[in-house]
Structure 1
Amino acid sequence: MNTVVESLSPVQSILKAHRRGEAVGLYSVCSSHELVLRAAIRVALEMGTPLLVEATSNQVDQNGGYTGMQPHDFRAYVEGLAAELGLPLHELVLGGDHLGPNSWQKLPAAEAMAHSRVLIHDYVTAGFHKIHLDCSMSCANDPLRLDDETVAARSAELAAVAEAAAQAAGLPPPVYVIGTEVPVPGGEASLEQALSVTRPEAAARTLEIHRQAFVAAGQREAWQRVIAMVVQPGVDFDHSQVQHYVPAAAAELSSFVAGQPGLVFEAHSTDYQLESSLQALVRDHYAILKVGPALTFALREALFALSRIEEELVAPAEQARLPEALDQAMQAEPRHWLKHYAGTPDQQRLLRRYALSDRCRYYWGEPAVKAAQARLFANLQARGIPLPLISQYLPEQLPAVLQGRLASSPQALVEHKIGQVVAAYARATTRPQIESPHAGRVSSL
């Protein structure tokens, strides 16, 4: 479908290699947390991979999103971390995820799309190269479920904005991801609500309707840079369970995309998949693997482990009590979790802390939570963390500490734990893919 352009970005080069039959793909880090990004940068440096970092439309937008950052702020932030840690900027690619009317669904469609055009313009002008056009959500005056024609027309409209913005800014034209069967960002409330595996005929119809919409909007050149489509391969998670990849269930879908030159699938909600399942996904042309909540879940696990260590080393009156500070912040402002976590107060308390959907990721930037984390790090840095306590609470980090490859400082331990998750994705997208012996299993972690 897509033609070769003279100068290929890292994204295009890797996906072109994938379509030549090489066992390669891209992993996409969807997080704005500094420790997550530091961990991802270190893995990219260690394993020699490009780093694709994506911001979501509710996280970063023209009004600041929930991070308080506009697109140009996010770019400066990520590039600053990359420069500090020594990652060449040509190895860093920024992407925008779920860009469309997501944040303005309560408005009439015309108003929501007006905001979406500004969103797209600002992302592209700020240098975001990989643009996921997601107009699959209904607005206030829309039917409950949009048809493919409406989704495609709105996506083509936004692609036209992106093309013009890149040209006006003197930037390379973006690459695009399309698709209407988009998993819920951050995981399902229940796996029973998850989408079934996309049918090949549905994927073919979506692709053709989008092609027609791009042509009708005068965006033939932009269509040549549609690199991926989001479909549902049967991979998802909810608060406590993971649906692992079943290659046989998605075999027809994989065969379909193999017949579409230049196109791959982008897999959302791959968090908590076994590494062998990630490898199988890449083999089956899900060449872009997105991960987000699993990274901040590892962050939370590490910080809670350090809090347990703090309880052993620090007098109660001096303790940071980070878990309590986090829960207090979540209860004081419940809008990010209340509609997602049902049950009794005790059940909600456990979900707030431990759910795989990891809604607590929205609260690490709260002033009281940041202060508690800083105090936790200072307490442990001042006292030092004894090896037996690392063994007890962060056992996966102990070998690297003993080998002298990892400092026993709080921040280094946290970054290493997050980096283990990132490294699984890096290996899955750079090494030969294998069949997953556990595919199809629903597990509770």
Structure 2
Amino acid sequence: MSTAMLLDLPRQHRAGERVGIVSICSAHPLVVESALLAGRENRHAVLIEATCNQVNQDGGYTGMTPLDFRQFVEAIAAKVGFDTGKLILGGDHLGPNPWKHLPADEAMEKSRVMIAAFAAAGFTKLHLDTSMGCAAEPVALPDDVTAERAAFLAQAAESALPAGGEKPVYIIGTEVPVPGGALEALDHLQVTKPAAALDTIEVHRRAFAARGLSDPFSRVVGVVVQPGVEFGNEDVVVYEPAKARALSDVLQQAPQFVFEAHSTDYQPETALSALVADGFSILKVGPALTFALREAIYGLDQVAVALGVLSPRQTVALAMEELMLREPQHWQKYYHGGDAALRVQRHFSYSDRIRYYWPHPDAVSAVNRLMAALGSSTIPMPLISQFLGNLHSAVAIDGHATDARSLLLLAIRQQIDLYARSARTLAHGNS
């Protein structure tokens, strides 16, 4: 079963095996395709997750329900020849976040409907995140309230499971700061205190037991904590094992669990490997993948201009600037400064809020225009060196195809392979 490897992660960590799994948190079709190609070629399972904001019963910002997302991923799997028996679909931050402006009862009812839809659609990794306050509540809730709401959602998920379907594993807890990149300075980042991690586990254990959910709690395999990694608009806090040693030691007292590390984007390979070794066995990555994709698209922009097949007024970068200025809702609250600083952040921020615009018809049209202009022609190596320098060595050494689409997939794949090496997915061929 596809979730068996998740349930086995705590045992592997206790046995000293430095093995983890990469969670691909993206709904971009090229990211999904690249991840599934990597899984097919290396014969390992692929975990793809959708957040509550991306995908929900109302469509989220992708316009997809959980069933739509499953069909979307499975269609790409069929196209590339990936065995869906090795596909794990997850729901991330499932809780009231999309509706926290509503009173708690209303927001939790919407959350119940959402997680039931994820469970009914066969998602088998469910992150219960009910830590945020709703209307008239404090921003952060007491642990017992958070846990009770999480148990309520777990009960809803269990009730919605398809007959004969695989039972899901659960993730509890949330990280600090909020998901998707820090909104403030990163010099005050705090590693989760060991006592707080243990309290999170215990309060959830009690809340599940109060609802008669002992079997679902036995399938809670991971706890989200803050190991001391984060990224902002232009900064990355790199993992320092010494600072998380006491937190990592918590797993000796809680052998049922591993830790799930969020916001690991842009970490160097040595840091990612250290995270896995220290029991942060589930590595989540999202913005770094679409950041790499955007870099490659903008590089191809310049290739097309240099080749004379696209005018400077037809570039994707220009189309994206016009789109983001016209519809600023996805970045305006998150980026700050003067006009020049805002322009840099819109396009190049590590937070990568430009990713919210790629499904927009204007963005799709601009990318399609670029790809049509370049077609299936081979991109000259000197132009790859000039405008796509981080891909040049891979192409030169491995003989990778150099048409535009292949180069986009390669840009994403480099990041995915970095994570797979860190989790030793490539070395072990986990399935």
Q: TM-score range by the shorter chain?
A: over 0.9
| Partner amino acid, structure 1, of 2:148 | A
List per-residue Cα deviations over 1:154-185 (Å, max 9, x = no partner): 0000000111111x543121100001445412
User: Which of 104, 117, 136 matches 1:141?
Assistant: 136
Q: TM-score, normalised by structure 2?
A: 0.95
Q: TM-score, normalised by structure 1?
A: 0.92
Aligned to 1:20: 15
Partners of 1:8 and 1:394 lie apart in 2 by 37
Partners of 2:260 and 2:383 lie apart in 1 by 40
* Residues 48, 88 of structure 2: 8 Å contact kept: yes
Report the more deviating stretch, 362-371 or 374-383. Answer: 374-383
User: Which of 62, 66, 71 matches 2:61?
Assistant: 66
Aligned to 2:165: 171
* Residues 3, 168 of structure 2: 8 Å contact kept: no
Report the more deviating stretch, 168-177 or 393-402. Answer: 393-402
Aligned to 1:55: 50
Matched, 1:208 2:205: no
* Residues 125, 169 of structure 1: 8 Å contact kept: no
List per-residue Cα deviations over 1:106-131 (Å, max 9, x = no partner): 00000000000000000010010000
Partners of 2:200 and 2:9 lie apart in 1 by 24
Partners of 2:346 and 2:389 lie apart in 1 by 24
Counterparts of 1:324-335 in structure 2, within 5 Å, are: 324-335=318-329
- SS of equivalent residue, structure 2 residue 375: helix
How many residues in Structure 1 have an aligned counterpart in Structure 2?
A: 427
| Partner amino acid, structure 2, of 1:265 | F
Counterparts of 1:154-303 in structure 2, within 5 Å, are: 154-166=149-161, 168-192=162-186, 195-303=189-297
Report the more deviating stretch, 277-286 or 307-316. Answer: 307-316
* Residues 31, 53 of structure 1: 8 Å contact kept: yes
Counterparts of 1:87-102 in structure 2, within 5 Å, are: 87-102=82-97
Residues 205 and 218 (structure 1 numbering): CA distance in 2 closer, same or farther, change over 3 Å? same
Aligned to 1:437: none
User: Which of 108, 111, 133 matches 1:113?
Assistant: 108
Query: What 5-or-longer segments of structure 1 have no aligned partner?
Result: 1-5, 434-445
* Residues 134, 179 of structure 1: 8 Å contact kept: yes
**Structure 1 vs Structure 2 CA RMSD:** 1.9
Q: Which runs of 4+ in 1 moved over 3 A?
A: 13-16, 180-183, 191-195, 315-320, 399-405
Partners of 1:417 and 1:178 lie apart in 2 by 32
Q: CA deviation at 1:384?
A: 4.1
Q: How many percent of aligned residue pairs carry the same amino acid?
A: 47
Partners of 1:423 and 1:77 lie apart in 2 by 23
Q: CA deviation at 1:140?
A: 0.2
Residues 432 and 38 (structure 1 numbering): CA distance in 2 closer, same or farther, change over 3 Å? closer
Q: CA deviation at 1:259?
A: 2.4
* Residues 186, 237 of structure 2: 8 Å contact kept: no
Residues 405 and 7 (structure 1 numbering): CA distance in 2 closer, same or farther, change over 3 Å? closer
Matched, 1:422 2:416: yes
Q: CA deviation at 1:90?
A: 1.2
Residues 8 and 271 (structure 1 numbering): CA distance in 2 closer, same or farther, change over 3 Å? closer
Partners of 1:357 and 1:363 lie apart in 2 by 13
* Residues 47, 426 of structure 1: 8 Å contact kept: no
Q: CA deviation at 1:432?
A: 11
User: Which of 110, 113, 120 matches 1:125?
Assistant: 120
Partners of 1:15 and 1:79 lie apart in 2 by 29
Query: What 5-or-longer segments of structure 2 have no aligned partner?
Result: none
